[in-house]
Amino acid sequence: MEDKNTDNVDLSKAGGQTKLRIAVQKSGRLSEKSLNLLKEAGISLTNGERKLLAQSGSYPIEVLYLRDDDIPQYVKDGVADVGIVGENEYAEKGSAADIIERLGFSRCRISLAIPKQHEYTGPEYFEGKKIATSYPVILQNYLDEKGVNAEIHVISGSVEIAPAIGLADGIFDIVSSGSTLISNGLSEVDVVMKSEAVIIGDKDMEPGKMEILNDLLFRIRSVQAASNNKYILLNAPNDKLDEIIAVIPGMKSPTVMPLAESGWSSVHSVLSEKQFWQVIGKIRELGAEGILVIPIEKMIV
Ligand code: PRT
Ligand code: ZN
């Protein structure tokens, strides 16, 4: 989507020079969703896919493609102003940057797991044992908090095979569906941290960049609000109108218009994904008909 509307960001005030440099993962689980978010926010990237640095013709932003492990450090050093990264990487690298926005995608948990035939007795189970992980800092903090002494064995990939090959007694790794653990005969015994993609950056950035960031956040929130909500239209018998309206929350209050057929009205509103099925069930019981549900592209709240 080409976006020519940069009204909210005053380029002239920024001398036409100030750009916000955002680091995103070059290739991996976060990259597509990160770039998609920018695209939906109206930011098209011009000079080629996946060069180290891409520009936007439509927005004062530069995109720096990096490995996710490097993003917190680049942000900390000021090479990038902000970055999109898994909260787990941010926590592991102990970045000086702040979490600016939670993005709600790439959700996972970082958990301790042990061979499924063993009985877990609590964190003290790991006393004197070996744990394989790629996240030694988060794990050490957890062990310190629990007063447990365990040996941390740092490995960078295929952590889940460590117990089977005798490298460790347990693992501390990312879990999403849990199927990797199951297929390696492991059971998840303790969720140490929950993670999602976040925007990190130094909240004290220069005013010109802050202005761009605020506009970007406004756009991202509008995109996210839209994807979390649906536009709903339905026909309601007038004698049930009040009851039907009472169960539809809406942004302010629903729009009600008379239908050509007397005794009926058309009701328009917005429903959040969370309440969706519950509300649909209730309004059907109350006699709503011809229910249409339409995706919302942007929602300015
Ligand atoms: O190359 P680069 O260093 O940039 O990428 P990477 O290989 O280090 O990271 P990548 O792309 O695999 O993951 C990026 C981020 O996505 C992570 O830091 C997490 O924040 C998030 N994320 C979300 C996940 C998962 N879900 C996930 N399931 N990261 C990894 N996994 C792996 C996990 O390591 C395990 O091997 O998937 C397996 C478990 O999945 P289930 O579904 O079987 O439980
Ligand atoms: Zn990585």
Model pLDDT for residues 186-230, shown as the tens digit of each residue: 999 999 999 999 999 998 999 999 999 999 999 999 999 998 999
Ligand nearest, relative to CA of residue 103: 1
Q: What is the pLDDT of residues 92-137, one digit of tens each?
A: 997 789 999 999 999 999 999 999 999 999 999 999 999 999 999 9
Of the listed ligands, the closest to the CA of 85 is: 1
Q: Residues near 299 by Cβ (< 8 Å), separated by ≥ 6?
A: 222, 225, 226, 229, 270
State whether the beta carbon of 29 lies less than 6 angstroms from ligand 1: yes
- Please give the mean pLDDT across all residues of the chain: 91
Q: Which atom of ligand 1 is nearest to the CA of 173?
A: 34
**SS3 annotation, the chain:** CCCCCCCCCCCCCCCCCCCEEEEEECCCCCHHHHHHHHHHCCCCECCCCCCCEEEECCCCEEEEEECHHHHHHHHHCCCCCEEEEEHHHHHHHCCCCEEEEECCCCCEEEEEEEECCCCCCCHHHHCCCEEEECCHHHHHHHHHHHCCCCEEEECCCCHHHCCCCCCCCEEEEEECCCHHHHHCCEEEEEEEEEECEEEEECCCCCHHHHHHHHHHHHHHHHHHHHHCEEEEEEEEEHHHHHHHHHHCCCCCCCEEEECCCCCEEEEEEEEECCCHHHHHHHHHHCCCEEEEEEECCCCCC
Atom of ligand 1 nearest to the CA of 159: 36
Band (pLDDT 50/70/90 cuts) for residue 4 is very low
State yes or no: pLDDT of 14 exceeds 50. Answer: no
Residue 118 CB–ligand 1 contact under 6 Å: no
For range 165-192, the mean pLDDT? 98
Looking at residue 32, what is its pLDDT? 94
Lowest-confidence region among 69-73, 198-202, 226-230, 285-289: 226-230
Q: Is 89 in the pocket of ligand 1 (CB under 6 A)?
A: yes
Q: What is the pLDDT of residue 96?
A: 80
> How far is the centre of ligand 1, averaged over its atoms, from the C-alpha of 293 (Å)?
34
Q: Is the CB of 78 under 6 A from ligand 1?
A: no
Residue 49, pLDDT > 70, answer no
Residue pointed to by tokens 């530069």 = 62
Q: Does 174 contact ligand 1 (Cβ within 6 A)?
A: yes
110 lines ligand 1 (CB under 6 A): no
Ligand having the closest approach to the CA of 86? 1
Give the atom of ligand 1 at the shortest distance from the alpha carbon of 106.
23
> What is the atom index within ligand 1 of the atom nearest the CA of 87?
20
Cβ of residue 195 lying under 6 Å from some atom of ligand 1: yes
Q: Which atom of ligand 1 is nearest to the CA of 69?
A: 3
Percentage of the chain exceeding pLDDT 90: 82
Which residue's alpha carbon is at the smallest distance from atom 31 of ligand 1?
Answer: 174
Q: Is the pLDDT of residue 5 over 70?
A: no
Q: Which residue lies with its CA nearest to atom 17 of ligand 1?
A: 86
* CA 178 to ligand 1: nearest atom: 44
Nearest ligand to residue 197 Cα: 1
